[in-house]
């Protein structure tokens, strides 16, 4: 019993000492800068908070040059439809945000729009579950989309899309800012891929891949109907179609 009393006594002593030191520093600072400047200093600190909130809720700009790149894409893909790919981008991002909020990847797994992305999304959801992280995205609204890049190499064409949107965001993550009372204005960058030459694509694929639905092994030969690791039957995937291959929030 005596032991606990002395521990509590020591803790109180330490707290008191810290309090006194803080008070002395505050008084020193106050006498150095003067009471008026002290007020300015306090205001400056609260202004930083206001600026953060302002920046958080300021509508962001899309980065892109749609007209110019659209012409280039149409030369290679005469059937290409910009509005269609923008609406696919929006639909996909909504589905992803829903899956992350619900921590449920079942819809993504069975959706052919996510053949390149489902593994990554499932892993992210698993990771959130095991670290007890939650994220909520409410009242998602999209504003504008723009094509920000177009490349064609190694058997595949890639279109990069910049999108602006807003939502009420809340999370228990420490690495992301969240003001639950104001709407977050943000920007995402997504990529869509069209594989026009499967042979070149398999030699050079690096940044993403297609995986066996049974064992998760990367599928190197999509023209074969069986996984080379576990021999599961795989329905032939049509790669000659624009599919989302990556997405990221590019505004923190």
If one asks whether residue 226 binds Zn ion (CB under 5 A), the answer comes out as no
If one asks whether residue 215 binds Zn ion (CB under 5 A), the answer comes out as yes
User: Angle at Cα 171 formed by Cα 169 and Cα 173, nearest 5°?
Assistant: 135
Residue 47 or residue 232: which is nearer to Zn ion going by CB? 232
Q: In the 8-state DSSP scheme, what is residue 211?
A: B
Cα torsion through 156, 62, 66, 121, rounded to 10: 20
Name the region of 224 (left: φ>0; alpha: ψ -120 to 50; beta: rest): beta
Per CB under 5 A, the list member of 128, 149, 182, 212 interacting with Zn ion is 212
> What kind and span of H or E run contains 250?
none
Residue 87 or residue 232: which is nearer to Zn ion going by CB? 232
Residue 16 or residue 215: which is nearer to Zn ion going by CB? 215
How far is residue 131's CA from residue 49's CA, in Å, rounded to a whole number? 29
Residue 38 or residue 212: which is nearer to Zn ion going by CB? 212
Query: Quick one: which segment of 105-113, 142-150, 191-199, 213-221 binds Zn ion (CB under 5 A)?
Result: 213-221
Minimum CB distance to Zn ion, residue 202 (Å): 16
Minimum CB distance to Zn ion, residue 227 (Å): 3
If one asks whether residue 229 binds Zn ion (CB under 5 A), the answer comes out as yes
* CA proximity to 156, closest of 211, 202, 206, 194: 194
Residue 68 or residue 215: which is nearer to Zn ion going by CB? 215
If one asks whether residue 230 binds Zn ion (CB under 5 A), the answer comes out as yes
Q: In the 8-state DSSP scheme, what is residue 220?
A: S
> What kind and span of H or E run contains 86?
helix 82-102
How far is residue 243's CA from residue 183's CA, in Å, rounded to a whole number? 30
If one asks whether residue 214 binds Zn ion (CB under 5 A), the answer comes out as yes
Locate 175 and state its tokens: 């690495």
If one asks whether residue 24 binds Zn ion (CB under 5 A), the answer comes out as no
If one asks whether residue 221 binds Zn ion (CB under 5 A), the answer comes out as no
Site size toward Zn ion, by CB under 5 A: 8
Chain positions contacting Zn ion, by CB under 5 A: 212, 214-215, 217, 227, 229-230, 232
């Amino acid at each position: 019993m005596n032991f606990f009393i002395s521990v509590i006594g020591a803790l109180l002593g330490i707290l008191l000492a810290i309090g006194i030191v803080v008070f002395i520093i505050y008084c020193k600072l106050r006498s150095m800068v003067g009471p008026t400047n002290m007020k300015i200093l306090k205001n400056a600190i609260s202004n930083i908070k206001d600026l953060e909130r302002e920046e958080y809720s300021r509508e962001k700009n899309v980065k892109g040059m749609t007209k110019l790149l659209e012409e280039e894409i149409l030369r290679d893909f005469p059937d290409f439809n910009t509005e269609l790919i923008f609406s696919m981008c929006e639909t996909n991002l909504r589905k992803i945000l829903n899956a992350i909020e619900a921590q449920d990847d079942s819809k993504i797994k069975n959706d052919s729009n996510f053949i390149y992305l489902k593994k990554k999304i499932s892993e992210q959801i698993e990771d959130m579950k095991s670290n007890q992280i939650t994220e909520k995205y409410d009242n998602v609204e999209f504003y504008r989309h723009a094509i920000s890049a177009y490349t064609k190499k190694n058997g595949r064409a890639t279109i990069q899309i910049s999108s602006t949107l807003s939502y009420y965001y809340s999370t228990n993550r420490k690495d992301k800012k969240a003001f639950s009372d104001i709407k977050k204005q943000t920007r995402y960058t997504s990529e869509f891929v069209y594989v026009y030459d499967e042979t070149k694509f398999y030699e050079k694929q690096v940044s993403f891949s297609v995986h066996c639905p049974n064992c998760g092994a990367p599928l190197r030969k999509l023209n074969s109907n069986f996984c080379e690791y576990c021999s599961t039957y795989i329905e032939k995937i049509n790669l000659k179609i624009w599919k989302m291959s990556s997405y990221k929030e590019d505004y923190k």
